[in-house]
Every structure is written in C-alpha cells, then in structure tokens.
Amino acid sequence: MCELVYMLGYRTTSSFYSISFHKMIPVEITSKVGLVLQYKKNNNIIMAYTKREFLKIMGLGLVFMPFIGCFNSESKKEEGHSGIGAAGVNEDKGNETIDVTEADVLMLTRNDEAYEKFNQGFNKRLHFLPKYIAICKTEKGIQFAIRKAREEKLQVAVKSGGHSFEGFSSNNGGMVINLSQMKKITWLENNEVEVEPGCLLQDIQAAFFAKKRLLPAGSCGTVGIAGLTLGGGYGFFSRKYGLTCDNLLQLKMIAADGKVYDTAEDKELLWACKGGGNGNFGVVTSFRFRTHDMPPAFDSYVLKFRSMDAAKFEQTINAWFDVSEKLPQDGFAAYVLNNNTLTVLITNYNHHADFSNIILPLTSIADTVSPTLQADLPKAMKRYYGRKGPIYFKNASAGLYQGKDDILKIKDSLFNTVLQNKGIVFQINTLGGMIADAAFEQSSCYPHRHLPYLGELQAYWDNESQEAKLVAAFENIQTLFREGGVTAHYRNYPDINFKDWEASYYGDNYARLQKVKSRYDKEEMFRYPQSVRPA
C-alpha cells in the first residue's frame, strides 16, 4: 500500500586576482550558494572566506556587499542559473516588487551539482529532464518560479513527496516546482494543524503521535502529504474517519497568475482539491486539517497462505470478502497475492471481544497466523513505512469493486498471470465505512465512495532487462479487468494507459473540475498527460 546536509545549490567559478601570501596570484573563486568564497589553485582550496570576511580583508566594507551578490548572479547566469545570489533578485511581479534570495528559492539547471539529486524520482523506470528545478522554500519563492515559467512559456509540474506512479510530478524541458524543503507543522486551536506540502507521512506521524493525535492517511512513510491529500488519501484509519481529504478544512494555493488564493474565500476550490487537486490548479502552500485522538493500541494479524493454486485462490477470495464485510469501522483488511504466496493483513485499533470470531473464516484455513495485539501505535506504524527509493516498479489502480464478483469473473486468468510472473503483486484493500459518508461526498470531488474495495496492481524488478516481460503481464491483467467491466480507478494510483481516465478518476465530476481549472489556470501552465483540461 504505497500510500502505503543543506543542499548545495549553485556553484560558479571565474578567474580572479586575489591577495594571497602578500602578493597577487591568479586563482579561482568559487561561490557556494553565496555562503563562502573559496580560492582555489590547481583544484586545491588555498583559502576560504565568507563574503563579509572577504570585504573586510579587501577594506571595502559592508557597503560593497550587494556588489558581491551581483558578481555571484552574473557568474550563475553564465552557468545557466537563474541569477539568484545571496544579495537576492528584485522581481517585478505585476505592479508589485518582490525581493527573492536563496532563502526563498534555488533555481537549478542541468549544469548544477544538486540537479541530479533533486531530479531523481522514486521510480527508477521513469526519466525526465526539466529545464529548471525550482527548490522553493517560501511563497515568494514559488511566485518567483511561476513568473519565470510564465515568461519563458514553460510547462510546470509540482513535486512534494515524489511518489507519482507515472512521473506526473516532473516533465521534459519545463519547470518542476519542488516543495520538499517546506516542512513546517503548526498546531492551532481545537487540535487543528497547518502543514506545509513538503512533509512526508513519516514526518506527519512523528509530529502528530507526539501530541497523541491522528490524521487518517496512508502507511508508506515516504509518501508526501500534498499528493496524498489532493488525490484522496486512504489507509488504516479511513473507514473510521474518512479519507485524508475529508479531514482537510482549508488550504492556500498560488495559481498561474502568481496570486495567493485561500479556500476560506472559495469553497469550490476546496471541493476540487479534495480528490482532484494533484498539480491541476496551482501550487498548494499549506493544508489545514482536523485531527483525532490517537488510539492507545493497534492490533494486527498477518495470515500466510502458501503453495496457492487456482482452487485455493477462489476459496481465499470468498473468505476474505466475507470477513471484510463484517469488519467494524476501525478494522482494515488487505489481500496481497505475490506469486504463489498470499498474505492477508487485518488490523483493528479499538479492541472488540468478538474480533477473533469475525476473522475466523480466514484464520481457520491459513497456514500461519501471526497476531500482534495491543501494540504501541507509533512503533506499529513504522512496520508499514515500506522500501526507500529509488526502485524499479510499475504500480497502478486495479479498479474499485462493489464486491467479490468483480474478481471471481476473471479469477483463473488473473491468478495464472500472477503465478507465472514473479514480481507481479495483486492487492485488494478495504474502503467503505465513513468513506461512504454522504456529507463527505457532497463536500469533495472524490466520486467512488459507493465502491468499498480498491484493487492495486504492482510490479517490481531489480534489473532493466526484466521490465518488458513484467509490464506486458501487468497490462494483460489490466485488460482482464477492463473487459470485465471494471473502469473506476483511484486517482492517486494513475496509469498512462487508462483509456477514459477523466471518468475513471472523477466520474461525473470532471466537467465541474474543468470550470475550476478555467478560473485558475486557463492557459494550462500546470499540465501533465492526465491533468484536468480547462472547460
């Protein structure tokens, strides 16, 4: 369940004559993000000064500090940088002048040392080369990046956590607005909290659990809160408290015109961003959530079924669906078939005396049952943080289901394809509960609340040579579901090959989302292969 060092920026060199050992010698001057001046000869650093120290030595005084900033800016421009140095850049934003420094934004190009690191996505299968990666740290930095993209007529992608299955958070030749450095968490009244978009789920859980609070979200520790929320967001606690987006009270966003918009003044934008906001309308700079009491304990059961065959597959599918239908709202179940081994995970965080009886149809036929009862929740969640990337994989929604008949109608072909292709994983997760709440449905664009099960298709490999075979098997399974009538899909598990993706992700809400797009980004600055188009 996938939801289940200060970075060095610009580096410039130029020839310069410096006082060294009381005589003039030719050396190189290297500026690292305006922090120090390093004097090098034959690639060896022979002296290093801050700008302030350099001016003092030269007898120039602080009045010349802007000159040094200009020197850095010009050097960076020669190397293909934006020209943002320690002294900053004055940017005329319409009728407003905005002062921007590296404390607001670092504009990386392919010549920069840090570019490769910030350009690395979680999925090693995908490769993109944007013209600029704007490492934004403040709203002003985002506004500067948007203005630069508008002036150069660049396509813009927005990246926070970087887990986009199809790489929709990057592009070729455009700009990526990277929000990974914006990680502030601010506690407000009534146990509400404001979170910046760069926070990962592991950051959220560490901060929230310390205050005995809970946000219903996913399980994978390196997923970003921004993408998770804007596409819906589900996990162990969603059947009790709704999707992550259902707990979103307010957000702020910078649109294509560079202006900051607050959903306190626009409820339609809030509606659109609850399930349809992934990089479609602008750059979200903060999220305000309601939180819930952290449960005191967390029970989990891991069931293993080995040497699976087609008959056992059908038996376990029947048993799993029968059990999942009886789960309380604080229960969750996942069915994970990997080659010939089935793993069933069942969790519960509000102790029920009869819970063991509810899951008996599964425990009675499992090869092994491993319970962990009354576990400490913060420690328990770390078990589900998942692998750290980057890794080779292809993941996508395998559809949302009404019940087991959606699986059983293709059971033989589905099982045989998974069995014959090591690395393919088929998973089903429980939704339902409060996710189906009518009030949540009315206040968000997430459309599939009546479908209580979510399928996920996964493929993992270690070497590029394995990709073609696994992707072919992956697409065969997708065809089975599509021909079997399964067409609704979860937006946070996208696939570039979904035919009617507008209806698959958004149901009847797509036309309404288009109107929101037209208001905030009519020229489609924020665009990727499956972004919402203007009306």
Q: Structure pTM? A: 0.84
Residues (pLDDT < 50) of the chain are 5-83, 85-88
CA distance 261 to 253: 5
Determine contact, residues 366/344, Cβ cutoff 8 Å.
yes
pLDDT of residue 97: 67
pLDDT of residue 388: 85
pLDDT of residue 426: 98
pLDDT of residue 3: 67
Element of type H or E holding 457:
strand 453-461
- CATH node for 298-506: 3.40.462.20
Dihedral angle sign, alpha carbons of residues 513, 517, 518, 519 = positive
Please write the tens of the pLDDT for every residue from 263-286.
Answer: 999 999 999 999 999 999 999 999
Q: Hunting for tokens 């036309």 — which residue is that?
A: 511
Determine contact, residues 9/108, Cβ cutoff 8 Å.
yes
pLDDT of residue 417: 98
pLDDT of residue 42: 40
Residue 194 half-sphere exposure toward CB, CA atoms < 13 A: 11
Domain coordinates in residue numbering, the chain: 11-78, 298-506
Determine contact, residues 204/225, Cβ cutoff 8 Å.
yes
Phi-psi sector, 438: left (phi>0), alpha (psi -120 to 50), beta = alpha
DSSP labels, 140-190: HHHHHHHHHHHHTT--EEEESS---TT-TT--SSSEEEE-TT---EEE-GG
Contacts of 284 (CB under 8 A, 6+ apart): 197, 226, 230, 251, 252, 253, 273, 277
pLDDT of residue 350: 82
CA distance 185 to 215: 13
pLDDT of residue 292: 98
